Amino acid sequence: MPPFRHLSFIINLSRRNAQERGDFVADNYQYGGQAVIEGVMMRGRHHYAIAVRKENNTTCVMSEQIGSYTQKNRFLRLPFIRGIVALGESLVLGLKSLQYSANQLMETEGEEELSFWEITLMMIFAIGLTILLFVALPLFLRSLVAKVLPGTFWRNLFEGLSRAVILVIYISVISLLSDIQRVFAYHGAEHKVIHTYEAGEELTVDNAKSKTTLHPRCGTSFLLYVVMVSALVFSFLGEQTFLMRFASRLLLLPLIAGISYELIKLSGKHQSFILWRILSWPGLMLQHLTTREPDDGQLEVAILALKEVLSLENNNNVLPINNQEV
């Protein structure tokens, strides 16, 4: 047997043995997730899982297969384009995850479940508020200083900086809410468990406790990349009317999201290089606002979600579960 085939055989055998023991071997795929209401969603290549802690201290777990368009179409896997597709898929998956977590808690309280359309309307409101705060407001502030700042470049740069300041203020304000603080604690649990897995350690509460709540591939860092990239892109645009500027910001958002996606993937993969550590630093600092130290129960929930995803990804004989209490 050629040496490289012998090595491949040993690696595959060790993976099978690890799976039989109930362990999971870290692979090259960058697993991730998001915090939901009293729970965590974890995502793999082909599956995702949600774990939610109910008021009666039981945890509900559900999992499904992901029909990602990037897996079906080679064109959609091209750099920059895949970021646009991934952003859209993440929004849809996030919507489903929030709906599931909200319904689990409402079921415990005896209230009627939220429909998909009710969740969709809430998401539309959130998107509208986002456009108002991070597109319209910075443009309005830009118009106020237009006579003071000498050139278009500096006006556009001011717009980008004001957008970053608004983002920090917005996160700081919502972090004062007790319900949001619990979501941020689950956010911290998600990061700690992902760090534990990427370190090749067993997924236990004790191992996860020692890890940081900050992660270079976090959605918070992605938002900051979007702000920084947009400031750079918009700085090269010429003078326009208010409506033209507003339209250009919306139309260029997919391009900016695609660039930001590539940057965050590279920074997460190459943290040994000082350039990527420098670029990651602002996002990591912002995560001090969007994460909290989780308790043991929150870590257990995040571990359950990731273990479910890993079981599905590593074993074709394991089927997704609709809704199971553990």
Closest CA to 132 of 112, 205, 187, 124: 124
Q: For residues 82 and 75, what is the distance between their CA atoms, to the nearest angstrom?
A: 8
Q: Which residues of the chain have pLDDT under 70?
A: 1-28, 108-110, 316-326
Q: For residues 251 and 247, what is the distance between their CA atoms, to the nearest angstrom?
A: 6
How high is the pLDDT of residue 91?
86
Is 50 domain-assigned?
yes
Q: In 10 A of CB 313, how many CB atoms?
A: 17
Provide the domain count of the chain: 1
How high is the pLDDT of residue 190?
97
For residue 201, the enclosing domain spans 21-325
How high is the pLDDT of residue 123?
83
Number of H helices, E strands in the chain: 13, 5
DSSP track, 127-192 = HHHHHIIIIIHHHHHHHHSTTTS-SHHHHHHHHHHHHHHHHHHHHHHHTTSHHHHHHHHHHHHHHH
Helix/strand/coil (H/E/C) assignment for every residue in 268-288? HHCCCCHHHHHHHHHHHHHHH
How high is the pLDDT of residue 203?
95
How high is the pLDDT of residue 19?
42
Closest CA to 186 of 296, 299, 94: 299
Is 4 domain-assigned?
no
Size of the chain in residues: 326
In 181-269, the DSSP E strands lie at: none
pTM score, whole prediction = 0.85
Per DSSP, 132 falls in state: I
Q: For residues 159 and 147, what is the distance between their CA atoms, to the nearest angstrom?
A: 14
Is 271 domain-assigned?
yes
Is 153 domain-assigned?
yes
Contacts of residue 58, defined as CB under 8 A and 6 or more positions apart, other chains included, come to: 325, 326
How high is the pLDDT of residue 276?
87
Is 12 domain-assigned?
no
Side-chain-side CA neighbours of residue 105 (13 Å): 13
Angle between helices 242-251 and 219-234 (to 10 degrees): 130
Q: For residues 171 and 201, what is the distance between their CA atoms, to the nearest angstrom?
A: 32
Question: For 204-243, how does the pLDDT look when each residue is reduced to its tens digit (9 = 90+)?
Answer: 999 999 999 999 999 999 999 999 999 888 888 877 888 9
How high is the pLDDT of residue 316?
62
Is 9 domain-assigned?
no
Question: For 137-183, how does the pLDDT look when each residue is reduced to its tens digit (9 = 90+)?
Answer: 999 999 999 888 888 888 988 999 999 999 999 999 999 999 999 99
Is 232 domain-assigned?
yes
Contacts of residue 177, defined as CB under 8 A and 6 or more positions apart, other chains included, come to: none
Is 6 domain-assigned?
no
